[in-house]
Amino acid sequence: MSTTPEGKVKKKVSDYLKSVSGLYYFMPVPSGYGESTLDYIGCYRGYFFAIETKEPNGKPTSRQLQIISAMQRAGGAVFVIDGDITELTEWITTR
């Protein structure tokens, strides 16, 4: 992971996700083919989740907001994380 502000947020998220036993996630690699998605896609105890990371105070793009909305309409939990992972950790601990 890079040392950019967003890279530091991704490292924090990845380190946390790796620490949760039984949690599956992956980070899709954009290749220019197919659909766009968010930074992390995962499943924990049968619950789908996705995460978009941003640098501190960063906001999702309009395309990312469309993807977030589609995932939420399908019943998925979506997190936009710019440094504070509290909402994510609380969601995981309540599953």
Beta strands in 27-76 (DSSP E): 40-44, 47-53
Are 72 and 22 within 8 A, CB to CB? no
Residue 85 is classified by DSSP as -
Instruction: Specify the pTM.
Output: 0.94
Over its length of 95 residues, how does the chain's per-residue pLDDT go in tens digits? 568 999 999 999 999 999 999 999 999 987 777 788 999 999 999 999 999 999 999 999 999 999 999 999 999 999 999 999 999 999 999 99
Domains defined for the chain, CATH in brackets? 5-93 (3.40.1350.10)
Predicted pLDDT at 80: 98
